[in-house]
Amino acid sequence: MDYFRPLSIEEALGLAQQPGRLFLAGGTDLSLHMREGRINPLGLIDLGKIAELKEIRLEGEWLEIGSMTTFYDLGQSDLIRKQAKALWQACQTMGSPQIRHQATIGGNLGNCSPAADGLPPLLALGAEVELVSARGRERVLLADLLKRTPLLESGTLIKGFLIPLQGWDSGFAKLGRRQALAIARLSTAFALKRQDGVALEVRAAFGAVGRRAFLSEPLAQSLSGRVLNESWLEDAVKGSQNAVAEALGSRASAPYKRVAVGGVVRQALKTMLGGGNHDGD
């Protein structure tokens, strides 16, 4: 196996032209998959030395997040806390301190585990993904990207994420078998554009429910344009239960998850609606 340490995106894309090579982000999943023999790449292209991929910044109407930003960096960022609360919350609880120091948001998408903690918040926040390859650049809604199979053409690098700055509130919650180090059994993120006590627009995302994280369009529509009150909240809970039941079908986990999602959604909504402050817990 070859191991490359490119210093620029261009260099990385050049190296990726050869077949059998994989981009290495934080590696917390990739290195394990290699040890287990689940993948046997001919080469690894370590993205760790490309500074450009580690930036978090405001760019016009967008919040830009480089793909090699770690969960720790995101969880420490004031910009993320203020502009992308659900993502900030997810970054506080993913894995353990050691994992958060190493795992990256780009790797979370690239590996695309059903339980990837970073994806429901990005979906709810309406994030777009910037992809680059030798063939060129592409900007695509994360929600659309997640419908593709395979997720990424070979040689495609996830450069970063762009979250529209629209003043939405958002909240995240997950259910794990224990608090730390637990892979999410269920996660949800909601985002909301509100005015004068009315939910103008809503997005609702779920993780660890089915193959990949997804946005529920019917749920979003049923909750949009309504007064934010107790019955809105109860409908959000019921709608989430229906969305999860539908997504899981007859899977063994369905009876448990379609009930459990109620509590998880309440928790996410509570952090999102709690007085409308953006300053975290």
Partner 1 sequence: MEIKLEVNRKHYILDVTEDERLLDVLRNRLGLTGTKEGCGEGECGACTVIMDGKTVNSCLVLAGQADGRRITTIEGVGSRRSPHPVQKALVEVGAVQCGFCTPGMVLSAKALLDQNPKPTDDEIAVGMSGNLCRCTGYDKILRAVRKASEEVAE
Residues in the site for partner 1, rule: CB under 8 A? 1-3, 5, 24, 27-28, 31-32, 34-35, 44, 46, 48-49, 72, 95-99, 101-102, 179-181
Please say whether the beta carbons of 174 and 187 come within 8 A.
yes
For residues 81 and 203, which CB has a smaller minimum distance to partner 1 in the complex?
A: 81
**Alpha-carbon span 168 to 191, nearest angstrom:** 6
In the complex, minimum distance from the CB of residue 35 to partner 1, in angstroms, rounded to a whole number: 7
For residues 69 and 83, which CB has a smaller minimum distance to partner 1 in the complex?
A: 69
Please say whether the beta carbons of 2 and 152 come within 8 A.
no
In the complex, minimum distance from the CB of residue 82 to partner 1, in angstroms, rounded to a whole number: 21
In the complex, minimum distance from the CB of residue 141 to partner 1, in angstroms, rounded to a whole number: 31
For residues 2 and 153, which CB has a smaller minimum distance to partner 1 in the complex?
A: 2
In the complex, minimum distance from the CB of residue 2 to partner 1, in angstroms, rounded to a whole number: 7
In the complex, minimum distance from the CB of residue 36 to partner 1, in angstroms, rounded to a whole number: 9
Please say whether the beta carbons of 200 and 193 come within 8 A.
yes
CA atoms within 13 A on the CB side of 179: 2
CA atoms within 13 A on the CB side of 210: 20
Helix spans in 152-281 (H): 217-223, 230-248, 254-273
For residues 102 and 156, which CB has a smaller minimum distance to partner 1 in the complex?
A: 102
**Alpha-carbon span 213 to 257, nearest angstrom:** 15
Q: What strands, in cross-sheet order, belong to the sheet with 21-24? A: 2-4, 43-46, 21-24
C-alpha distance from residue 107 to each of 88, 99, 159, 258 (Å): 17, 12, 11, 28
For residues 24 and 202, which CB has a smaller minimum distance to partner 1 in the complex?
A: 24
For residues 56 and 125, which CB has a smaller minimum distance to partner 1 in the complex?
A: 56
The conformation of residue 179, written as its DSSP 8-state character, comes to S
In the complex, minimum distance from the CB of residue 131 to partner 1, in angstroms, rounded to a whole number: 23
Burial 177-215 (b: 16+ CB within 10 A, else e): eeeeeebbbbbbbbbbbbeeeebebbbbbbbbbeebbbb
In the complex, minimum distance from the CB of residue 11 to partner 1, in angstroms, rounded to a whole number: 15
For residues 5 and 194, which CB has a smaller minimum distance to partner 1 in the complex?
A: 5
Q: How many CB atoms lie within 10 A of CB 82?
A: 14
